[in-house]
Structure 1
Amino acid sequence: MGLSSELKLAVPWGHIAAKAWGSLQGPPVLCLHGWLDNANSFDRLIPLLQKDFHYVAMDFGGHGLSSHYSPGLPYYHQNFVSEIQRVVAALKWTRFSLMGHSFGGTVGGMFSCTFPEMVDKLILLDSTPFFLDSNEMESILTYKRRAIENTLQVEASQKPSSVVSPQEMLQGFLKNNSHVGEECGEILLQRGTTQVATGLVLNRDRRISWVKHSFDFISMELFAHSIRRLQAHILLIKARQGYYDVRRENDADKAPLLFMLDTMRATLKERFQFVEVPGNHYAHMSEPHCVASITSSLRSKGRVPARLQLWAQAVEASCSHLSAANKRGGGDGPRWS
């Protein structure tokens, strides 16, 4: 399934860039990339998915080829949620599915709870519908203060974008993104950089480089209340070597994740499915065949297939075989009848 077209959707501060695959007449799926990534995040996955769907992967504002926000306008989590509404309104979609990786899944989760009647299915790729923070009440004012201070510091610095060689750009990118392999890093940088006379510059807005500026952290009570609003079916695909908490020092604390899983199981019942796949946080890029096999739930009408866990076990066995075959210089991805 080749790329159908590049899109530019008008917004008050410029445009939202996106890329589309598949049939215009097919069921629509909006794909949301992770923090500081771009729409190329889905380049290896979407060609492996069902071809009779219409997939659109957008660049969030300040990312990829999308316009930066106007000077003085901050990048808050709610802004990214509203960008989804702007995009689907421009596309004239009234009901659709969302597929989001990491930060994109969290933005998609907030949208799905805010506009529950619009979202049919929500597929989360090593992500959760919200970022849960057990210390949210103690920390929230600190987060808000630091976000404001960081924005003002970036605006005041007026520091020009660094120009580096392609190799330096890639090495710096990989150093700051330990879960991204070299091939996947090159794919993301194709859309995330611009060639100038003396090298490459990053496209993304420097104001989004501080993580707590772009994420909202919510309490357990607000999470439970929000999940009750969902009408969508949810498929959460967790990478075994992935992570959820953007503050890396807390990655080992699984209590928030377990609370979210238990809450979604109890609240959504058959509308929630959880599957683990081999790979790291970028499994949808590095192991796309594994993830593609699981996301066949897009085709189902109603609930996610009951055989999903069995499929996941077969996928893991097949992917292990695939990885071994690739090391020997060959091998195909898992096939399903």
Structure 2
Amino acid sequence: MHELILRTPAVQVAACRWGDTSARPVLALHGWLDNAASFQPLAAFLPDLQLVALDLPGHGRSGHYPAGMRYHFIDYLPAVLAAADDLGWERFSLLGHSLGAGIASFIAAAMPERIERLALIDGLGPAAEPEQDGPARLRKSLMAQRRLANKRVPVYANIQAAARARHEATGLQLTAAELLARRGCKAVDGGFSWRSDPRLMVPSPAYSSEAQVRAILGAIQAPSLFVRALDGLLIKRPHVTARCDCIEQLQVVDLPGGHHLHMENPQPVAEVLQDFFAFP
């Protein structure tokens, strides 16, 4: 694994690269509050790819947005494209998990000339909500922003304690949580805390409607793969089938596991990805 620092308009973005630089380029985008280490288990089974996993802005070892900026979903898109530019990649494939899958799908829709293939793990577009819920969401976001200054960042005795807290809060396997914690924590007075920007906990001030999301998904031209976890977040969501129908060249593969199946049981996921990315 090689560590990279990439330039984007607002912050420097850290990344991990696995594989030969002459191999097929795949840019990997992690989920909310995760980091590039979430793709480390997969990388071991994907030796034929040049896999570059970003720490999204505000996550892992990447910089935090300047004061006054929010972490709105749409604002990740130019950062990801700038990172690809700094890598010198004009055309590449995208691999996204959860939040990263939403970002990847919107980039593929908006910039089809740059995306060769699109692979999504337990995520298919961003969260949406009815338009009438907009005022309540806006208030919730503004109130959370105002309370943020009075919140203290938790400090843990060691990396393992931080990982246990993530495990207990989310159900993520402890070994996977430790992998994220080793990259995602820093030493502070009294122990360790997560590097992630506390502003990531502020709810978004605005969501797209379901109709808007489907319209954007319908613009995806690249051959696409959706790996759905049988015990994940989307398996019982009624809107998922309609979203799948929007993407013309979409292959759906259901695999055993929870939302982080690519970390907790990576080999079956990697086998599907290896086949998908093995195009002429």
- TM-score, normalization: structure 2? 0.93
Say if 2:244 and 2:250, in contact at 8 Å, map to a contact too.
no
Matched-pair contact (CA < 8 Å) for 1:7–1:18: yes
Q: 1:129 aligned to 2:125?
A: yes
Residue of structure 2 equivalent to 1:149: 143
Report the CA distance between 1:12 and its aligned residue: 4.3
Deviation sequence 1:197-233 (CA, Å, 0-9, x none): 53111100111024x428x643343233213321211
1:262 — aligned with what?
A: 245
1:111 aligns with 2:111: no
Correspondence for 1:327: none
Give the CA deviation at 1:177.
Answer: 1.2
CA shift digits 1:160-193 (9 cap, x unpaired): 5332212432222112112x10100100001110
Q: Which residue of 1 aligns with 2:170?
A: 177
3-state SS in 1 of match to 2:28:
strand
Q: Which residue type is aligned with residue 257 of structure 2? A: G
- Alignment of 1:7 with 2:1, yes or no, is no
CA distance in 2, matches of 1:137, 1:150: 21
Question: What is the match of residue 71 of structure 2?
Answer: 75
1:138-170 Cα deviation digits (max 9, x unpaired): 11232233223322321x32x453322124322
- Paired with 2:261 and 2:169, the residues of 1 have a C-alpha distance of 17
Return the offset for 1:13. 3.9
2:37 aligned residue (37, 40, 46):
40
One-letter code of the match for 1:171? R
Question: Match of 1:200?
Answer: 192
Q: Is the 8 A contact 1:19 1:58 kept in 2?
A: yes
Aligned partners of 1:169, 1:228: CA distance in 2, in Å?
40
Q: CA 1:6–1:219 in structure 2 vs 1: closer, same or farther (change >3 Å)?
A: same
Question: Does the Cα contact within 8 Å between 1:77 and 1:107 map onto a contact in 2?
Answer: yes
RMSD of aligned Cα (Å): 1.8
User: What letter corresponds to residue 198 of structure 2 in structure 1?
Assistant: R
Shift of 1:283: 0.5
1:299 paired residue number: 278
Give the conservation status (yes or no) of the 8 Å contact 2:106–2:217.
no
Instruction: Deviation per CA, 1:105-124: give whole Å up to 9, x if none.
Output: 00111111111211111100
Percent of pairs with identical residues? 29
Does residue 231 of the first structure (1) align with residue 215 of the second (2)?
A: no
Cα distance change on mapping 1:163 and 1:92 into 2, 3 Å: same
2:61 aligned partner: 65
Specify the structure having the higher radius of gyration (Cα): 1
Give, as a single letter, the amino acid of the residue that structure 1 aligns with 2:213: F
Secondary structure of 2:256's counterpart equals: strand
| 1:218 paired residue number | 208
Instruction: Report the secondary structure of 1:112's partner residue.
Output: helix
* C-alpha spacing 1:96/1:164, structure 2 compared with 1 (3 Å): same
- The reply to whether residue 285 of structure 1 matches residue 276 of structure 2 is no
- Give 1:177's aligned amino acid: T
**AA aligned opposite 1:191:** R
Give the 3 Å change call, closer, same or farther, for CA 287–117 of structure 1 in structure 2. same
Return closer, same or farther for 1:298/1:207 CA change in 2, 3 Å cut-off: same
Equivalent pair of 2:14/2:55 in contact (CA under 8 Å): yes
1:275 correspondence with 2:253 = yes
TM superposition outliers: structure 1 runs of 4+ over 6 Å: none
- For 1:44-59, list aligned pairs within 5 A: 44-49=41-46, 51-59=47-55
Q: 1:186 aligns with which of 175, 178, 194?
A: 178
CA contact (8 A) 1:42 1:285 kept: yes
Distance 1:255 1:44, change over 3 A: same
| 8 A contact 1:132–1:256 mirrored in 2 | no
Classify the secondary structure of the residue corresponding to 1:48: coil
Specify the SS of the correspondent of 2:204. Answer: helix
TM-score by length of 1: 0.78
Map of 1:25 onto structure 2: 22
